[in-house]
Structure 1
Amino acid sequence: MTKNKRMTVILASALSLTTALAGCSTDAGSTGSGGTAAPDKEAKPTALNIMLELTLADPPGEDNPVKLEIEKRTNTKLNFSWVSSNNYGDKQNVTLASGDIPEMMLVLDPYHPQVLSMAKQGAFWDLTAQVKNYPNLSKFPEETWSGIAIDGKYYGIPRSRALIGGENIPLIRKDWLDQLGLKVPVTMDDMYNVMKAFTDKDPDGNGKKDTIGFTGFVAAEGMGQFDWVENTFNGSNGRWKAKDGQLLDTYTGKETRDALVWLNKAYAEGIISPDFPTLKNSQVRENITTNKAGMFADAMNPSWLLTGQMRKANPKADVMPLTYLEGPNGKYAPKNIGSYGMFVIPKSVPEAKVKQILQFMDYGASEEGWVLANYGLKDIHYTEKDGLKTTNEQAIKDKVNAYGWIFANLDKYQRGYQSGIPADFMDRNRTIIDERAKVAIPNPAIGLISDTATKVGKEYDKKIQDMKTKVIMGREPITAWDDFIAKLKTEPDYQKIVKEINEEYAKRVKK
């Protein structure tokens, strides 16, 4: 079977789900082994109030055809409270604090202190024992469920996402490599040499020295689009690295120091963006599409998004995600946690309705459900050819992608896809995802909770990142980092964080 055929989503093969649907007004427990209950055509539609993030300027209307179709197939009446992504976090916190929580609500971070506290106090339904009764939800990968677990329990339904392709790893102008006769970089030495060549050797052929090797930004509490440098040196996915049954704090190790030395040299030689502390994501991407930079770090999706934009003027333009990088500790590629937030159900919702909500979300975890929510109606909102779906103007008009926030895309190649992507480009992205999966490193600390970190962890994160930025820019020497780390090792609260994380990790390892 070809790769394209494996990717093909044939709605006809999923139509049987419509007649086997959970009618959301029936008792999920009546299915016995957990199969989806048949809808009761005479039953009154179940009303559901749902709070969701909105990335569009305006929300879909009540008569939206995708919404109406979801309601029809699930026998529901959906009342969405759309909240702009610009202030969703604030609205989430205010709503949780008020106690007036919708019947189902997306929380972006399951480990936000407020969410943790409320979960432990019994504010949300514990769904741990129930999810096995729902065939599609129970098929989520273990990493998806563990990514929202609190003390080993599920206080929500994960918003599933693909495990590979969603974390920062460099994307490179492959056409610039070809122009300069360079190979795809693999080691950190390769990366440095390519970045320098992109800066010094006129890769865009305009006769001017107006390009840089890498563009990216750092965040106030972390390395942002530069985290791949630390991770490659450490051979880890994030701050914590599993070794000999313990979690090592990579911040205090030699490899993080080496990464800062590497970045300081790159900054001093002008091969990374000089304004990296203040850049925004939109500016980073503009640096790529306007031929100012040859590399940036992101999920895989923008590879075609940016390539497609550039090919209007330059048919040879090609932004390619790297498969992995090799550092002193081996090959590095990150594995995602398998979820982006979770949907909580407050304890004020009766148990019978909890089952109806789970049945509704189980439909969303079916092939038919997630295709409907993410792409809309076939031949109305999208067409399909060679296993690839291409959305159209009607999909934009009907704001189809808004519903992808409730029924996540379950395609394992999701992060390599962008609407309109050519088959050969998608084939390459699928191959990269398959190869990454062989070496991808998970974050071993996901779901581990330190009470001290909950209270003061962000303060430490800001102090640490501030010092990293100063060292990279040469405002502080690397010896200042050494002194900073030596002091951290003597601070009781910092050491408590390391101790508490390891205590939680030890409990997990023993299970």
Structure 2
Amino acid sequence: MKKHLKQAGSVILVSALAITVAACSKESGSGVTSSAAPQPAKESQPPKLSQLTYWVPTQTQVSSQMKTFAEIGTYKELEKATGVKVAFQHPPVEVAQAQEQFNLMIATNDLPDVIEASWGATSGAVVRYPGGPEKAISDKKIIKLNELIDKYAPNLKKLLDTHPDWKKQISTDEGSIYAFPFLRGDDKVRVFFGPAIRQDWLDKLGLKMPTTIDEWYTVLKAFKEKDPNGNGKMDEIPLYLDKNLFATDAPFLGAWGINYSFYQDKGTVKYGPIQPEYKDFLATMNKWYKEGLLDKDFAAPNDKLLDNKMTTNILGASAVFNGGGIGKYVGLMKDKDPNFKLEAAPYPVLKAGDKPIWGQKDFAYNGIGAAISVANKNPIETVKWLDYGYGDKGDLLFNYGVEGTSFKMENGKATFLPEILNPPAGTSIQQSLAKYNRGTWSGPFVLSDNFQLQYLALAQQKKALEIWSQPTAERKLPIVTPTQDESSKFASIVTDIQTYQDEMLLKFIMGIEPLDNFDKYVKKMESMGIQDAIKIQQGALDRYNKR
């Protein structure tokens, strides 16, 4: 969901796949065109390593049908190729619980060999290291990888040498590379999340697709009052948005020009939840909540609960992933309700005709990567093992799974078998693919554009990519990092502030805290050091722009 995606080339694949790889390697402003896209280096020798412990959050498409990543076709085949058996350690699916387990693991120093997390992110529904990756290195939790990658990771090294913009994104200000990154090589694989609505309900009630906040209010009121599911009951839930969905690239908050964390406005760093516009957003959500337009369960994020509401024909709209939302629900409902039609909606704006400036669009790197811990007794061999994912064989394994089982080669291009993209009723494409590869979320590899074009097999998924690609995303802050001296202070400030703002978000929307106290809330945030955090982020952005 994110969970997230990517691509790597293939030396041994013939021209069609080479063209695909090239397309995914084009990076805006990089000066590298699709025709000059890199091919991975020759495979490094299999590492002399027998086993690894690997901590990584699981995904619902995996946990719903498997106990561990070791059951995925990618890792079964990877074990055959390298001789390395991986003992995966998975925290609970819910992000807050996963973060707690991560924090405990770090605090007790009970470290596995490899830790996959969102090292670079400072906000959002991800597991991250407080203070950022440079602090994780200075705290002696993970190791710096620059020299090891130069010597023992020829596949990743070649990609980074060819794409200095990618290397810029995966490095700290000090130049440290701290993880084997998940990379999205092309714009086509960087947009995968946004608002979605029941088009069949709109059609039944004679309503047009909403584009503004006011139009959304009209539609949600109709969903609440006019029985679009046709069961004679007022049991419809017009909109589900939990705390994590509010925070993921601002699907509704962005209408006010802000987000739920740090952002930039023409190079100046700002913090969304203390802006005057945030009060207007809270007032709107409070009104929707009072009128029963916003799901009463929004305060307690629960993916299974969301799935249940969507598949029992009572939910009208939400913010979803393209594969793990639209693709999943269409697959689950295709035999259960042939009238079910979930379509992407534009990111809403305040004024009709305005172009949305907030929307989900990842950079090539989103902060997720596999780091090697200081407890690892075989770092060189582990680097070789991780580098496998960036070579030609690793590209196929991580994007497509096992040849002959989940895909075949057609005209030089990896092509999923029909039964993989057309699973039986009750199984989504996302779940079907997750048995064989990691393409539907993230990992230490480059997501293939060729994978994405096949994954988004449905017409409404292709339409969603087009609609959700419209926002400019100009205010999104790149992944910046505090200095070592700043990291502890920044981590302390942000951790406390995010806890407080999450609490107050719920209270303001539910009416527990009157909006008349908004100024008092902002003063509290000021007293907790938000301006110091903004100053640190401003310095980090300035340094990033000079990298």
TM-score bin, normalised by smaller chain: 0.7 to 0.9
Residue by residue over 1:201-252, the C-alpha shift from the partner in whole angstroms, topping out at 9 and shown as x without a partner, is 2222333322132013225xx9457942222312x45422312432012222
1:248-267 aligned within 5 A: 248-267=270-289
Task: Name the Cα RMSD after superposition.
Answer: 4.2
1:14 touches 1:367 (CA, 8 Å); kept in 2?
Answer: no
1:103 touches 1:349 (CA, 8 Å); kept in 2?
Answer: yes
In structure 1, C-alpha distance between the alignment counterparts of 2:367 and 2:226, rounded to whole Å: 41
Q: TM-score, normalised by structure 2?
A: 0.72
Unaligned 5+ residue runs, structure 1?
1-6, 18-32
Deviation at 1:408, TM superposition (A): 4.2
1:166-177 aligned within 5 A: 166-167=192-193, 169-177=194-202
2:214 touches 2:350 (CA, 8 Å); kept in 1?
Answer: no
Alignment of 1:469 onto 2:523: no
Identical columns (%): 20
Give the match for residue 495 of structure 2. 458
1:108-507 aligned within 5 A: 108-110=118-120, 112-113=129-130, 116-121=134-139, 124-128=142-146, 133=154, 134-136=157-159, 142=165, 146=169, 149=172, 151-160=174-183, 164-167=190-193, 169-218=194-243, 223-224=246-247, 227-234=250-257, 236-301=258-323, 302-327=325-350, 330-331=355-356, 332-337=358-363, 338-339=365-366, 341-346=368-373, 357-366=382-391, 368-382=393-407, 390-391=419-420, 399-401=435-437, 406-408=443-445, 410-412=447-449, 422-432=457-467, 435-436=469-470, 439-441=472-474, 443-444=476-477, 446-449=479-482, 450-489=487-526, 491=527, 493-507=529-543
Larger radius of gyration: 1
Unaligned 5+ residue runs, structure 2?
1-6, 18-37, 121-127, 425-430
In structure 2, C-alpha distance between the alignment counterparts of 1:357 and 1:120, rounded to whole Å: 21
Residues 247/405 of structure 1: CA separation in 2 closer, same or farther (3 Å cut): closer
Deviation at 1:349, TM superposition (A): 6.3
AA of the residue aligned to 1:81 = A
Q: TM-score, normalised by structure 1?
A: 0.77
Alignment of 1:80 onto 2:86: yes
Residues 203/50 of structure 1: CA separation in 2 closer, same or farther (3 Å cut): same
3-state SS of paired residue (1:400)? coil
3-state SS of paired residue (2:298)? coil
1:164 touches 1:336 (CA, 8 Å); kept in 2?
Answer: yes
Residues 11/120 of structure 1: CA separation in 2 closer, same or farther (3 Å cut): closer
1:171 touches 1:298 (CA, 8 Å); kept in 2?
Answer: yes
Residues 113/368 of structure 1: CA separation in 2 closer, same or farther (3 Å cut): same
In structure 2, C-alpha distance between the alignment counterparts of 1:147 and 1:325, rounded to whole Å: 32
Residues 148/204 of structure 1: CA separation in 2 closer, same or farther (3 Å cut): farther
2:54 is aligned, of 25, 45, 51, to: 51
AA of the residue aligned to 2:116 = L
3-state SS of paired residue (2:215)? helix
In structure 2, C-alpha distance between the alignment counterparts of 1:60 and 1:333, rounded to whole Å: 31
Deviation at 1:412, TM superposition (A): 4.5
Flag the structure with more relative contact order, 1 or 2, with Cα contacts below 8 A and sequence separation at least 6.
Answer: 2
* Mean Cα deviation higher: 400-409 or 82-91: 400-409
